[in-house]
A and B are shown apart, each in its own frame.
Chain A
Amino acid sequence: MIQLETIAKQYSGRGQKLTAFRCEALTIEDGEYVAIVGPSGSGKTTLLSMLGGMLSPSTGRVLVDDVSLYDQSVAARSAIRGQKMGFVFQSFNLIPYLSALQNVQVPLSFAKLSAEVQQQRATELLVDLGLSERLHHRPAELSVGQQQRVALARTLVNDPQIILADEPTGNLDPTSKEVVLKIFDECHQQGRTLVVVTHDPSVAERATRRLTLVDGNLVDSDEIETSTLRPASAA
């Protein structure tokens, strides 16, 4: 469970303060599939960063499973991310000098798993995603869709409870987009929590709940009854 308590985030630059996000209270239950929508500059990425323990709010607390993230040390937050969270990026953020297989092994290396276990788990996941022929290719040698699948393998390899995605389909063609959304649906069915920032209505409508941001304010929070897929527990 993720909880925000009286959060505000201000950026100061050029002598003036800008409040990029504020919110009195917000709770995201385990297993929820949340879409965050809103115009550019409305604070979506700011919110996602704070949920992920990557950006300290100016005031307020973020609780993940009742642990207040920003009362922890920076290293402890890194550990929490490594154990509980998986991130999906618009431009995949693959490490350019590592092969597909090596990229997927990186999160496992932070968990101090042995080289054999790392290799085995990463290979399995990549094979599942249809990349068995591309294990030793560098990101630059992969198509965009393949890159996003490698990135998804890296996100999922640690079996994260929470998945945080920022415009995950922004750079993808319709086919690749569908692959990503399918994987999200599967994650949702497996009971993981998903928070997906998106511009795209067709992405947002797969979620079970939509948060709308305008100028850093949460203006709308609606349950989407028409969602095609519901978690098993909620059915």
Chain B
Amino acid sequence: MNLRSIIWQELKSRPSAVIFNSLTILLGVAALVAIRHVTVHSEKEVSKQLSNLGANILVLPKDATLQNYYAADQNGGSLPEEHVAEIYLAGLSGVEQVSPRLNVATQVDEHAITVTGILPQSEVEALASWQATTMFMNTTDTGCCQRTNVVSAQQLASPQALIEHRAIQELDKNAIVVGADIAAKLGCKAADRVELFGEKFTVLGILPTTGTVDDGRVFAHLHEVQRLSESGATCNAIEIVGCCEDAAGSLVPQLQELLPNAKIVTISQVVQTQVGVNQLMAKTSWIVLAVMMVVGGAGLAGAISSNVQERRREIGTLMALGATPRYIQQLFLGKALLLGLAAGAIGCLLGVSAALIVGPAWAGVSVTPLVGTSLLAVLLATFVALVAAWWPARRAAQLDPCICFREV
């Protein structure tokens, strides 16, 4: 026998009390860990999306959410393709690149994939010069201090430009560019033939892994996708690259006036929304933390207090047998330590599991376990349990041993 085995035997004798006493702390830790996991990963996701999203203005259908856009979801509604021409025709200064996108879901060899229709820049430019007699595009009169976003036709030549610059210079009607994940699933490489919507396409190139939704997409010519999916001359989004961030800002009201039935968002808005959500999550997790501290701690303090009360005669007996007050204090602190550790560890496991499931399902972010956060949560739970048990344990230690003679 020693202190540890006495604590352990007592805990073992009443497993249900162990569960009830530490349930609040356990659930608090679980919630905290889950929220922190989703928040941290969602922040990472935002910065990843940002770095992958070259376009600084998005034109979306009125009812579409950013989530629809990121997820290449077709439920967000559609825009007429004419908007592309209208944007050029308006001759807005600072517009550097316009690329419409149409997402269609389909199956290839039983793999669900998203086909994204894009318009190669060569055709956008032809359309522009055919449509417009106005002076536009690449004018020096943009009001930009630095033309940070300007890219040349040469830079858009390879399929990789789809990732770096969100556009490609040339794309034949029977050619496709395949995202990394899809290429791996289908086992296809450049120059292979792949059947989409019952027609054969030649793989122009495979995109490198980006860690974004682009990995799960196949890019094809917009007009082919429109024809094969029978969606008419529409698209789901139009990405606009302004010549610089400043220009993008001033373009928004002009675009909104030009396209009153569309939703115009800038990347900074996207970021703000996401950052706002993240801040809310972060604040929520602090509230959860505070609630866990107060409610869980108070609950455990009450439980340990009544445990001391119930075991008064046992405490007196232990003292009669030679236990020091310090030993009695450690008896209860040790119990709280074990409860805190167990609640922390189990809560942590639950929280991480919840985040792994809920993160992708509800927040659209993939979650991996964060070791530091988890360890911190376990430590915190242990600390709360120790603080909660501190006073009851002290009171136990101050009991007069003569209570061992008291009958019930």
Which A residues are within 8 Å of any B CB, using their own CB? 45, 48-49, 52-55, 74-75, 78-79, 81-83, 85, 87, 89-91, 93, 95-98, 102, 105-111, 115, 118, 154, 158, 166
Stretch from B8-16, B24-32, B139-147, B272-280 contacting the other chain: B8-16
Tell me which residues across on chain B come within 8 A of A45, comparing CB atoms. Answer: 402, 405
Bound together, the chains give a CA A49 to CA B321 distance in angstroms of 13
Q: Is the interface of B mostly helix, strand, loop or mixed?
A: helix
Tell me which residues across on chain A come within 8 A of B327, comparing CB atoms. Answer: 110
6 A-B pairs besides A54-B316, A54-B319, A95-B314 with CB distance below 8 A are: A45-B402, A45-B405, A52-B401, A93-B316, A97-B13, A102-B1
- Is B221 among interface residues, defined by CB-CB distance under 8 A? no
Give A103's nearest chain B residue, CB to CB.
B1
Most buried by B among A81, A107, A108, A110: A110
Chain B stretch 317-364: residues in CB contact (< 8 A) with chain A: 317-327
Tell me which residues across on chain A come within 8 A of B320, comparing CB atoms. Answer: 52, 54, 81, 85, 87, 93
Bound together, the chains give a CA A52 to CA B408 distance in angstroms of 20
Bound together, the chains give a CA A89 to CA B407 distance in angstroms of 9
Bound together, the chains give a CA A108 to CA B2 distance in angstroms of 9
B16: min CB distance to chain A, Å: 14
A166 contacts B1, C-beta separation under 8 Å? no
Q: Given A45-B405, A102-B1, decide whether A75 and B321 contact each other with a Cβ distance below 8 A.
A: no
Tell me which residues across on chain A come within 8 A of B10, comparing CB atoms. Answer: 97
A93 contacts B314, C-beta separation under 8 Å? yes
Q: Which of A52, A75, A91, A158 contacts B325 (CB 8 A)?
A: A75
Q: Given A55-B402, A91-B407, A97-B10, decide whether A107 and B324 contact each other with a Cβ distance below 8 A.
A: no
Tell me which residues across on chain B come within 8 A of A48, comparing CB atoms. Answer: 405
- Is B259 among interface residues, defined by CB-CB distance under 8 A? no
Give B13's nearest chain A residue, CB to CB.
A97
Give A49's nearest chain B residue, CB to CB.
B402
B405 contacts A111, C-beta separation under 8 Å? no
Tell me which residues across on chain A come within 8 A of B313, comparing CB atoms. Answer: 93
Tell me which residues across on chain B come within 8 A of A87, comparing CB atoms. Answer: 317, 320-321, 404
Bound together, the chains give a CA A53 to CA B319 distance in angstroms of 10
Chain B stretch 190-232: residues in CB contact (< 8 A) with chain A: none
- Is B400 among interface residues, defined by CB-CB distance under 8 A? yes
Give B322's nearest chain A residue, CB to CB.
A82
Tell me which residues across on chain B come within 8 A of A98, comparing CB atoms. Answer: 1, 6, 9
A79 contacts B9, C-beta separation under 8 Å? no
Tell me which residues across on chain B come within 8 A of A102, comparing CB atoms. Answer: 1, 5, 9
A78 contacts B323, C-beta separation under 8 Å? yes
B405 contacts A107, C-beta separation under 8 Å? no
A and B contact pairs by CB, cutoff 8 A, 20 listed: A45-B405, A49-B400, A53-B401, A54-B320, A78-B322, A78-B324, A81-B319, A81-B401, A87-B317, A87-B320, A87-B321, A89-B404, A91-B407, A95-B318, A96-B13, A97-B9, A98-B9, A102-B5, A105-B1, A110-B322
A141: min CB distance to chain B, Å: 13
Tell me which residues across on chain A come within 8 A of B323, comparing CB atoms. Answer: 78, 82, 110
